[in-house]
Every structure is written in structure tokens, then in C-alpha cells.
Structure 1
Amino acid sequence: MENGKKLKIFTGNSSKPLSQEICEYLDVPLGDATVTSFPDNESFVRYNENIRGMDVFLVQSTCSPANHNVMELLIMIDAAKRASAARVTAVLPFFGYSRQDRKDQPRVPITSKLVANLLVAAGANRILTMDLHAQQIQGFFDIPVDHLYASPVFFEELKSRDVQNMTIFSPDVGGMKMANAYAEVLGCPLGFVAKRRTGASTVEAMNLVGEVEGREILMIDDMTETAGTLTAAAKILKERGAKKVSAIVSHCVLNETGKERLRQGILDELITTNTVNIDIGDLPIKKLSVAPLLGEAIRRTNTDSSISSLFQIKGF
């Protein structure tokens, strides 16, 4: 890479397709590494090429199976440090355990802080991640964190759509700040759904505030796993006269419950990214690539250039 240390990109097993896209964007080969498991499921990593003195980027989303993928990344970092890499940047398109970012009940852990400590202890020099569940997680690290947003990718998609009859909704009160940013850029009215969580995978939508009757609704959220929040909100929005209900989520970590809820058709469309490798199949999902965004961030990190311009929104 011009004006930078020699760049090497490697991938764990959770992010192979995305890593290949990033390498194609940067016009560099994907690094050769063996990342596998022993019969007892212990992870094993070996770099099959020299990385001494190089700028190494390790791409790995810590999605399901989260524990295995976190451990795999830690071992990749440790192996890279022991192979004398000059700098190791952990690239986490999706940062697992991000929802456990505070003590919201007695005698529970702050697991996102624990994972941050583990990454630093393993030897990571920098973190590159996208759309953390909570902004304060950046402060859990004692190393530099570059926190990208998927919104420029979504805005590029929305440029081609008619937003004249659209209302931007947050499916819960906590997401109002993010939804408001979309509403301001798109010039759309803003609303929110008040919800009550009745279990880890069940949500009861209670009420809503905003223009709904005869309008197209676009809900904004950072991630979905069971699709409980989105489908419960979509149901009440359609009951109140919404013409169409779509949603944007940065990280689509759907389990089987979530997939089944989407198949019911309550939510007309889910727009997401490829931070998590998911098989769309017959689901009403449109997947956008964040490879150029992550690739450009990697390029600028390698050349010690500013990445602040990556937050700028073009065309609005």
C-alpha cells in the first residue's frame, strides 16, 4: 500500500465473504492463514506466510457462535503478535456482546467491557468496528477505536427512493437519536413506538407517536436478532393505517425465530448490511455491502490518514 507499511488482511471463519470483498476493493490478496478447530473444538490458527514487521488487519465479526468467534479472534491476534507483526488491528464489523454494556440489574456482568479487555490483553493495537450498540463502548478500550457508521451506505440506497410520503420511526425510545439523524437528512417527519419487553425474545408494542395514516414507514435500528421489536412495531403501525412498513438495521444477526417472523410478512422489507454473513433465502431482506467503507478505513489507517471524511453523507 502506497505510503504505508506493507498491508496484510486475514479473516476468521465468520467474515470470509466480506473479507474477500474488502480485499477486492483494496486490490490486495487475502492473507493465507489456517483458522480451524481441533476435534474438541479448541481453535487453532497458523499464518502460512511471513508477517514480520507488517501492518496486519484481522477481520472477524463476533456473531453466532459468539463465544467461538471471539476466541478465534483472540487467538488470531496472539498468533500475529508472536509472529512479529508491527501492528495488529482487529476489524470487527459486528461487535458481539455490545448489548451488555452496563449493569441494568443486580449481579450481572458488563460483558462488552470484558471483551474489550480480552482484545487488548491478546495484543490488539487498534480496533475498527461499525455501529456499536452503545457509543460509550469506545471508552471501554485503552487503545484507539475507529467507530464507523453504516448510515452512508444506507443513504446511498435511499437516494433512489421516493421519500415524499415517508415517516422515519424508531421502534423504541432508545433509538430516537439515530432515527432523528435519518429524519433530518431525508427531510421526513419523525415518530417512535413505545414498547415493553416481556422476555428475551418477546416484545409487546404499546403505543406510538408520529404521522402514520396512509404513509410509508421506515424504522431505524442498529441490530435485530429475533425481529421481535421490529415485527411488533410493524404490526401496530399497520393497524394504525401505515401503507408500507420497512426497516433499516446495521447488523442482521437473525436466528430461526427472527427468520420465521419475517416470513409472516408483517414487515414488508428489511434493509441491512453484510457485517454478518447471513443466508437471505426467501426472506424479504435487501443486503448492502460495507466492504468499500471498511476497505477505505483500512487503507487510511495503513497510511496514517484521516478517516473523518468517511462519515460525510454525499448526495443529500
Structure 2
Amino acid sequence: MSISPEPKLISGNANLPLANAITRRMSMHRGTRIGLVDARVERFNDQEVFVEVFENVRGEDMFIIQPTSNPANDNLMELLIMADALRRSSAKRITAVIPYFGYARQDRRTKARTPISAKLVANMIVEAGIERVLTMDLHAAQIQGFFDIPVDNLYASPVFALDIQTQFKGDMEDVMIVSPDVGGVARARELAKRINAPLSIVDKRRERAGEVSEMTVIGEVTDKICIIVDDMCDTAGTMCKAAELLLENGAREVHAYVTHGVLSGPAVERITNSKLKSMVITDTIAAPEPVRNTPNIRILPTAPVFAQAILNIWNGTSVSSLFEIPTLEPIYEGQFGT
């Protein structure tokens, strides 16, 4: 039996541009062409998912690239059915590369008679035959413990740090990192430490989900370049209100760095008309045309770090090395002017 000397990648329909970018980066690293496995992932007329793999994958180390973003249920089913198809085709190992892990906000019971959907999704992924998960910036770190298989959780903060040091070169002494809520303090502190910047917090109180009743700034932001850091932005209501509040408290300008640009509903319109000077998101979720055409939204690529992480997993080497800026600088090859 002849086994491919390279890792094999397959993609669903959730984010084909990212999947193709990852294969291009891996081809550059390996010095040989690495493409996506030839397959079709389609819908029957009743919207059932159908998967057919056209290449031999027996004994292969397979990587499925599929964020579970909107439509979350369709993309999740594609992931599970692709995994089942590969398992029944005798793939040696199946790794799910899930740049954005949907259902991550349902990681605990917030009130009586509610589910822990993130745990249910983890169970489904394991039962489908997936043996490893590679993701980025899980909404809640404890979700890694929901799996009985290895989970590698990459971080966007080293990439953000490189970009901030380039974009605000000469003004770094005025930069202040801001957490948009108390729950995100650890994430914001970690980035602040990387760029040696002070930290502020916007304390918010919610009357109900999606509605903020009161916001307060903790920390002195007068004449600071405030950078709000979060793992995801959905409807952008909180983000835009936080920007207004920071400016009211004397901030010079406000920017935002967000890993996952969910940007549903009125988000794009809100960001366009907001006080945010810029919002930086990554391409973990495929950006629709309105997002790509919004002047104050900029998209950072994650293909370089995912490509290297896949190669490290395939080679059996460290993935945590990608958490450090010196490791990422050569991987991004001048993306940030370094």
C-alpha cells in the first residue's frame, strides 16, 4: 500500500478561500504542490448533505478544514459526514481543522432547563471518528475539556501583536488595550503583555441577551489610542457602544481587533456608522462581500499559522511554538513589515 508523503486536506463549503490559502502556504513550505482532496460536498433537494471522496485515502493522515460558522448546523453536518466518509474509507487519522468553533458560547448552563450545546457538539465530533481538533481562540478555554481527544487551540493574539506593532509604530507608548467586558480580561491582558501596553476594562451589565443596560470604563484612557480586543463580534452593538464610551472618556481614537467576525444582522451597518476608526478581523469565517467592502474593516490572514500548525501535527512536533511572536514573524514573511 502506497501512502502519500504529504498530509492530505479536504474542505467543506464553509470557507473554501481559507482552505485554498492553507494549501498554498503548505505547498510553499514543502516545496511541492499540496491541493485539496478531490471530493464533492453537496445537498440533495431536501437539503440533506451528501459527500463523495474521489481519491484513495486509505492509510492517510487526513485534515478536514471546516469552520462551523453560519449556517452553523449545515456546516457542522458537513464536517461530521465528511469525517464519517473518511473513516469508512480507512483513513489512518482524521483531524478536524475548525478555525471558528460554533456553539462555543453555549459552554455552561446559564439558567435552569438549558443545554450545554458545546459539550453535545464535542460528543458528536468524537463519535464521527475525528481523532484531533485544531481550532483558534475558543470562546471559552474549558471547551477543550469537553473532548476526550487532543485539542490544539491556536491564539490570534501573537498575530494581532505583530500587526499592532506595525500599524501603530511610533505611537506604541500611547496604545492601551481594552477588554470589552470582565470575562475577556485574561485575553486582553495577554495581548497587552505581548506589546507592553497598559490595560483598561469596559464593565457592562446586561438586562437580557444581546442588550446592554449600563457600561463603565475602568482605567484612565484620556488621550490614549484604545484597542478593544475580543474573540468574536456578532451584532457589534456592544463594540460600537464601547467605542463611544471610550471617546466620551477622553480616548484619542478607538480601534478593535476581533478574531472571529461573525458580523450578523445590522453589524456591518453599525460598524460603518460607528466611532471605530478601524476594526481588524481574521479570515476564520469567510467574509461576505459587504464585510470585504466596508472601509473601516480590515481582514488578517490565518492561513500561515494554520498551515504551519497542520504541518507540525503531521510531523509530530510542537504546536505551542506558534504562540510566540519570534516563531510567527518568519511564517508571515513580511505581512506586517517585519
Give the TM-score band, short-chain normalised.
over 0.9
How far apart, in 1, do the equivalents of 2:185 and 2:131 lie? 33
1:201 positional shift: 2.8
Specify which structure has the bigger relative contact order, considering alpha-carbon pairs within 8 angstroms and separated by 6 or more residues. 1
What's the TM-score, normalizing by structure 1?
Answer: 0.96
Contact 1:98 1:134 in 2 (8 A): yes
Return the match for 1:63 from 54, 58, 69.
Answer: 69
Instruction: Establish whether residue 144 from structure 1 lines up as the match of residue 150 from structure 2.
Output: yes
2:101 is equivalent to residue 98 of structure 1 = no
Count of aligned positions: 314
Find the residue that maps to 1:305 and give its secondary structure.
coil
Q: Is the 8 A contact 1:5 1:54 kept in 2?
A: no
Separation in structure 2 between the aligned mates of residue 100 and residue 164 of structure 1, nearest angstrom: 38
Match of 1:25 in 2: 25
Indicate conservation of the 8 Å contact 1:125/1:143, yes or no.
Answer: yes
Pairing of 1:1-316 with structure 2 (within 5 A): 6-27=6-27, 28-160=34-166, 161=168, 162-279=171-288, 280-314=292-326
RMSD across aligned positions (CA): 1.6
Q: Deviation per CA, 1:196-246, whole angstroms, max 9, x where unpaired? A: 223333324421111211211001111011112211111111111211111
Distance in 1, matches of 2:282 and 2:77, equals 24
Distance 1:6 1:195 in 2: 49
Aligned residue for 1:276, secondary structure, equals coil
5+ residue gaps, structure 2 = 28-33, 330-337
Q: Take 1:153 and 1:205, find their aligned partners in 2: how far apart are those partners?
A: 32
In structure 1, runs of 5+ residues without a counterpart are none
Cα distance between partner residues in 2 of 1:281 and 1:197: 32
How much identity, in percent, do the aligned residues show? 46
SS in 2 for 1:9: strand
Give the C-alpha shift of residue 271 in structure 1.
0.9
Structure 1 contact 272–288 (Cα < 8 Å) conserved: yes
Asked whether the 8 Å contact 2:235–2:267 carries over to 1, the reply is: yes
- Distance of 2:138 and 2:5 partners within structure 1: 28
**SS of match in other structure, 1:44:** strand
Are the structure 2 counterparts of residues 281 and 215 from structure 1 closer, same or farther at C-alpha, using a change threshold of 3 Å?
A: same
The Cα offsets for residues 53-102 of structure 1, whole Å up to 9 and x where unpaired, read as 10100000101000111111000000010111000000000000000000
